[in-house]
C-alpha cells in the first residue's frame, strides 16, 4: 500500500509531537551555526520510533525515522534545530517551521514509496490506516 495523503499527514503529526527535545539554557550558547550533535539526533530518532512503531510497525518506522533525522542533520544548523525544538516543546510552531516539517515528512514518505516499503501494522495490532475498498483484505 502506498502512503496516502492521510498517512503523510498522520506521520507529520506524529513527527511533530515526538521530536520535541527538552532543552537546557546552556545549549543556546553552543548554537553558533554548528552542526546538530549526533546524540541529540539519536534522541530524536528514538522519540520518532517510540511515537511511530505502535501505529505503523518497526519495518515502516525505522526507514521513516532514519530519513527524518538524516534530513534534520543535512538541512538544519544547531541554532535552527534548537529553535525548532523550542517551538515543538511549546506547541507553537511557526508557519515556516510547519512548512519545513511538512516537506521533510513528504520527502521521507515519498522515499518509502519509491523503495516499495509498505505501511505495516503497529504493535497495537491495529492497521495503520483504513484500507481502500479495492485493496485485498488480509486473511484472519
pLDDT for 28 equals 41
- The rounded radius of gyration (Å) of the Cα atoms in the chain is 16
The one-character DSSP state at 27 is: G
pLDDT for 117 equals 86
CA dihedral 44, 45, 50, 51 (to 10 degrees): 70
Per-residue pLDDT tens over the stretch 37-52: 999 999 999 999 999 9
pLDDT for 126 equals 55
For residue 100, give the C-alpha cell.
519545513
Residue 62: exposure state from Cβ atoms within 10 A (0-12, 13-18, ≥19): middle
- Taking residue 71's Cβ as centre, other Cβ atoms within 10 Å add up to 18
Residue 139 has pLDDT above 80, yes or no: no
pTM as predicted: 0.67
Amino acid at each position: 500500500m502506498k502512503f496516502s495523503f492521510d498517512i503523510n499527514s498522520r506521520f507529520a503529526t506524529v513527527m511533530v509531537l515526538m521530536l520535541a527535545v527538552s532543552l537546557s539554557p546552556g545549549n543556546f550558547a553552543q548554537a553558533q551555526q554548528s552542526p546538530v550533535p549526533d546524540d541529540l539526533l539519536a534522541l530524536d530518532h528514538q522519540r520518532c520510533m517510540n511515537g511511530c512503531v505502535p501505529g505503523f510497525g518497526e519495518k515502516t518506522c525505522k526507514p521513516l525515522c532514519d530519513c527524518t533525522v538524516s534530513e534534520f542533520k543535512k538541512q538544519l544548523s544547531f541554532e535552527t534545530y534548537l529553535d525548532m525544538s523550542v517551538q515543538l516543546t511549546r506547541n507553537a510552531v511557526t508557519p515556516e517551521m510547519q512548512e519545513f516539517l511538512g516537506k521533510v515528512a513528504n520527502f521521507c514518505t515519498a522515499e518509502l514509496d519509491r523503495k516499495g516499503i509498505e505501511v505495516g501494522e503497529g504493535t497495537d495490532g491495529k492497521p495503520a490506516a483504513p484500507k481502500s475498498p479495492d485493496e485485498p483484505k488480509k486473511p484472519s
